[in-house]
Chain A
């Protein structure tokens, strides 16, 4: 596998379920991100892990909980979600302190909350 991978690609969960999204990057990057992509809205940055520092968007509800055990893996733990949380969740990675600044995105997890 190369680039940024995400599993699962599709997830349907009830409002009382607990699930986790997984992201893995094979690019040797040192920063990873979670974005939420809803229809006709800008990409919303949810969380950033960079050099083991977490930068958090204060508007993210506590029902979303990130975990970054190492620089290659990123998780998003979900619990008691709401229907409005249905969206495409994109993971991305980049190399901090490199002039390119390019973020490499994964294919996303399409989440549906019923």
Chain B
């Protein structure tokens, strides 16, 4: 089955700096890669996703890049703010269906004021 590895497990950045979280996946058949944000004591929520026919996707301060050849994808947050502090999870879908999502272990991002 699919295996998703996520790095780093913790990340601290100064407010205004950029943050990058990286994930690798094992199965080249995976074609859907979402990112979820989970604030302390709250539920995970989708913040951005990318499909295998696209190399990059951007939504305001958040961007995701995908390298299918290398089987890795990354989340980029620019101009970080304290409210970006949360745990971020990457995931990969083996068959393109939500039910097949395999999650990474999460990255605790702390934005220091």
A31–B34 Cα gap in the complex (Å)? 18
Q: Is the CB of B32 within 8 A of A101?
A: yes
Complex interface: chain B residues within 8 A of A108 (CB): 43
A103 to B99, CA, bound (A): 9
B4 and A42 contacting across the interface, CB-CB below 8 Å: yes
Mask for B54-96, Cβ within 8 A of A = 1, else 0?
0000000000000000000000000000000000010001001
Give residues of chain A (76-114) contacting chain B, Cβ–Cβ below 8 Å: 90, 94, 96, 101-103, 105-108
Residues of A within 8 A of B32 (CB): 101
Contact call A96/B97, Cβ cutoff below 8 A: yes
Cross-chain contact B43 with A101 (CB below 8 angstroms)? no
A contact residues, total (Cβ < 8 Å): 21
Residue B20 at the chain A interface, CB threshold 8 Å: no
Check A90/B44 contact, CB under 8 A, given A41-B105, A45-B101, A55-B99. Answer: yes
A residues 1-27 in Cβ contact with B at 8 Å: 4
User: Any chain B CB within 8 A of the CB of A75?
Assistant: no
Task: Please tell me which one of the listed residues A4, A43, A96, A101 contacts residue B89 in the complex, with CB atoms under 8 A apart.
Answer: A43
B43 touches A102 (CB 8 A): no
Binding site for B on A (CB under 8 A): 4, 31, 33, 40-43, 45, 48, 50, 55, 90, 94, 96, 101-103, 105-108
